[in-house]
């Protein structure tokens, strides 16, 4: 049974710091892995999608990597800003309808 | 850029009342989902629809019914609301091929 873990559950960093968020999964037979951002009281916004054949994806200051063999993905945020404060969730799917979500990392970037 | 639209955004019900949450997507996606999000429990799948006319149960379907009215719309109905159904409900649709999920803004439901 696939399980997705995100550690730490919460993180506070000063503005300008580069940071890494972690997502671990137990079954390497995934179709894709997706990172989301969720602001308080809002829905999930898709940040990056990594297909199983890819090693990384980049969008602006965000870079997500995928290592299926070790069951890990990292979301790297460069030069963090207070506006990056949100909860970040990852989700994996094996290609069927089912998506398994982590419980998220709550990030606070301090000005 | 509407994407996935949910209504209503907020609703307060009394125990035993019924209501329907509406969801519509304009991305021509076949697959649509209903999730609930509760503190400490993450996102849990209530129902799923692979295409127009088909629906399947997820992990927590009890107390809910769904209708896939057409390709665009997927509604979630609570027939007799219970306090345990107090939650935030999210509708999502999936892009064919990549499998990328797109979410609505959520519907916040309180059952008294």
- Out of B48, B99, B102, closest to residue A31 by CB: B99
Give the nearest chain B residue to A33 (CA atoms): B100
Query: pLDDT band at residue A97, thresholds of 50, 70 and 90?
Result: confident
Q: Which residues of chain B have pLDDT under 50?
A: none
pLDDT tens-digit map of B30-47: 999 999 999 888 899 999
B97 touches chain A (CB under 8 A): no
How many whole angstroms separate alpha carbon B112 and alpha carbon B100?
A: 36
pLDDT tens-digit map of A49-75: 999 999 999 999 999 999 999 999 999
The contacts found for B61-70 with CB under 8 angstroms, 24 or more apart, are: B64/B34, B66/B34, B68/B32
**Residue B24, strand partner residues:** B5, B73
- Say yes or no for a CB contact (<8 Å) between A103 and B42: yes
Q: Does the pLDDT at position A95 exceed 80?
A: no
Q: How many CB pairs under 8 A join A and B?
A: 52
The contacts found for A44-48 with CB under 8 angstroms, 24 or more apart, are: A44/A89, A44/B90, A44/B92, A44/B101, A44/B103, A45/B103, A46/B100, A46/B101, A46/B102, A46/B103, A47/A75, A47/A88, A48/A75
From the CA of A81, how many Å to the nearest CA of chain B? 23
Query: pLDDT band at residue A100, thresholds of 50, 70 and 90?
Result: very high
A94 touches chain B (CB under 8 A): no
Highest mean pLDDT among A1-5, A41-45, B1-5, B21-25: B21-25
């Amino acid at each position: 049974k696939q399980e997705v873990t995100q550690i730490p559950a919460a993180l506070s960093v000063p503005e300008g710091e580069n940071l890494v968020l972690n997502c671990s999964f137990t079954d390497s037979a995934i179709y894709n892995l997706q990172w989301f951002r969720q602001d308080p009281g809002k829905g999930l916004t898709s940040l990056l999608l990594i297909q199983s054949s890819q090693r990384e994806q980049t969008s602006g200051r965000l870079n997500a990597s995928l290592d299926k063999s070790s069951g890990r993905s990292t979301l790297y945020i460069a030069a963090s800003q207070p506006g990056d404060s949100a909860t970040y969730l990852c989700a994996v799917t094996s290609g069927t309808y089912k998506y398994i979500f982590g419980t998220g990392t709550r990030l606070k970037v301090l000005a | 850029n509407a994407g996935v639209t949910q209504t209503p955004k907020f609703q307060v019900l009394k125990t035993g009342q019924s209501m329907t949450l509406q969801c519509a997507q304009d991305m021509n996606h076949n697959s649509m989902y209903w999730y609930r999000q509760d503190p400490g429990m993450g996102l849990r799948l209530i129902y799923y629809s692979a295409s127009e006319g088909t629906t399947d149960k997820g992990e927590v379907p009890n107390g809910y019914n769904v209708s896939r009215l057409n390709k665009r719309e997927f509604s979630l109905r609570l027939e007799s609301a219970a306090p345990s159904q107090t939650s935030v409900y999210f509708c999502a649709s999936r892009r064919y091929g990549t499998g990328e999920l797109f979410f609505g803004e959520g519907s916040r439901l309180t059952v008294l």
